Amino acid sequence: MSESIKQTRLDNGLTILTEQVPYVRSLSAGILVKTGSRYESSDEAGITHFLEHMLFKGTANRNSFKLANDIESRGGMINAGTSHEYTIYYVRGLDKELATVLEVLSDMIINPIFPADELEKEKKVVIEEIKMYNDSPDDFVYEQFISQIFDKHPLGRPILGYEETITEYSREKLYAYMSKFYSPNNMIVSVAGNVNHEEIVEIIKKQFGHLKAVADFPKTDEIPVFTKDRVVLRKEIEQTHLVIGRRALSSNSDDRFKFLLMNMILGVGFSSRLYQNIREKYGYCYSINTINQSFYDTGSFAVAAGTDEEYVDHLRELIFAEFKKMAETPVSFEELDSAKAKLNGMLLMGQESLNNRMNRMAKSEMYYGRYISLDEIEQNINKVTEDDIQSFCQDFLNPDFYSETVLLPSENE
């Protein structure tokens, strides 16, 4: 662990991580809860995300306005996010406001009251959020693709849930869900900035030290066997959207660095093969790129593009032609070296954001149980050879493992 990064674990299991960045006058503080949409039952679909919204609606000590104003009136901002595997509540603020920042975040999580009128209003808000994503063709088609490759597993459900489940939420359901997952031994407090570790530990002890650990947490469903599939959908849109993809690597896979470099070469940025050999060469699409996600035990990988309906078949052929090239011919030293520089550069530039530093500490602890330094990551990236990439691609880019989702414009009368 870097000298600037410190860790303390309270008696009740709460993990506190800090990174001191002395040359700034600000901080980024987050509380990560190790629960996301994959831990929901079918009748709870979307409850993790809905709960995230409702924690901003008031506590025993603050109404919703005061929660926001206590941060924003001091020059900061407060927000949250829900994923498949975790929920994080975070604040960007000035270093001198550390105590207030941590107290507000703690208050949200420990003392929510879920006012009845706010509960009903927020149901409408989230339903409108679902409609907004459904009106975005690239979001809609990718969500359908994820649903397809994970079948009926919770990973295949939208994080936002469904209108029919959201309308059934109650205060009792929210408290019951919190009691299962919002336990100190299932949380990580992460703070990066001009901060003092011991001061943060003392503040967090006062806020969370009285909470008791939960002995066992509900388990997620077993991942179903993958079945290759092709789904064609229609919507009132102008452009056709194509997603071709498969199940991918878990966050702990030994091959993850080969995968990340393959992804860089194939579909990240304007210099990638897909962009140069399809968009630039033929003009069949405005954008084409790869999307990858990694979870505890599985992952997803996809190529996504928007095109005209008449180009879909040719576009698919060109995508698989690029797969075949990577499997049959080793990448050049220069191309691999460029991909390594691009990946390392993205990681290093990410360090210029305190939010990224705070997030990286928390997620490193969550997924790996330790802090993984950029030096260690760079060493692993630089170990990968041209032969490693080709060998990985021969298996991973096999077309037999790829499903497809196509969203076409509605047919004319």
pLDDT in tens, 232-243: 999 999 999 999
Which residue numbers in the chain have pLDDT < 50? 413
Q: Which long-range contacts (CB under 8 A, 24 or more apart) does 236-239 make?
A: 236/409, 236/410, 237/137, 237/407, 237/409, 237/410, 238/409, 239/137, 239/306, 239/307, 239/308, 239/409
Confidence (pLDDT) at 2:
62
Question: 272 with 287: CB under 8 angstroms?
Answer: no
pTM here? Answer: 0.94
User: Which tokens go with 285?
Assistant: 């699409």
Determine how many CB atoms are found less than 10 A away from the CB of residue 252. 12
| Helix, strand or coil, per DSSP, at residue 147 | helix
- From the list 40, 52, 118, 143, the catalytic residue is 52
| Helix, strand or coil, per DSSP, at residue 280 | helix
Q: What DSSP string describes 2-30?
A: -TTEEEEE-TTS-EEEEEE-TT-SEEEEE
Q: Residue 163 catalytic?
A: no
Determine how many CB atoms are found less than 10 A away from the CB of residue 218. 11
Confidence (pLDDT) at 1:
52
User: Which tokens go with 241?
Assistant: 């959207």
Confidence (pLDDT) at 3:
72
Instruction: Give the separation between CA 68 and CA 63, rounded to whole angstroms.
Output: 9
Confidence (pLDDT) at 58:
95
Spacing of C-alpha 156 from chain mean position: 14
Q: Which domains does the chain have, with CATH numbers?
A: 5-208 (3.30.830.10), 230-409 (3.30.830.10)
